[in-house]
Structure 1
Amino acid sequence: MRYFESRERVTTEGTFITYAYGYYSFEIDDGEILAFDEIDKLLLDKYDLKSDQLNGQKFEIFYSIIIDDMDDEDFVILRLDDLIIK
């Protein structure tokens, strides 16, 4: 059984849409929707993303793409690492 994990760090700008069903969703400038299923705990202390208060707010977004290769299946995780209000 072979196991491999790769990580890529990405920075982009986008607008916070909402928190729903356990995902933090942002629309980036090209219209793509990013739904983060993991978030740095410090961000939850810094920004109240679970309320509707920041919906529509533009941010600089710092996130990681984590790919776990377990046997024949790849799992892709988007982790929200940091935000800066624009």
Structure 2
Amino acid sequence: MGELVALPKTGGIFEDVRGGDRTMRVTCHPQRGTVVVSLWVDKICRASFQLAEPDLVRLQETLAGMRFEPSELADADEGPPPITGTDLAETA
């Protein structure tokens, strides 16, 4: 079992559009030089990713560059298509 670390004061919790008590938590751990992204279902952490501090700016720039066109938002009522590992590999 992994080491338990106190929840830091900085971070956020985001709800998954699919519901089902799925959340993503983002926490900053300056003492370790990491930002941790963890995926939760109810009160169980299903996965986590430790992002090194030097990569934080690149992640911020990536997220800041993501925009939706009004026509894309109209299609959002259908729900997002599932993303598979293959889809992600094709965009790399």
Q: Is the pair's TM-score, using the shorter chain for normalization, greater than 0.5?
A: no
Larger Rg computed on CA atoms: 2
Give the TM-score, by structure 1 length: 0.31
Q: Between the two structures, name the one with larger relative contact order (CA 8 Å, sep ≥ 6).
A: 1
Greater share of residues in helix: 2
Give the TM-score, by structure 2 length: 0.30
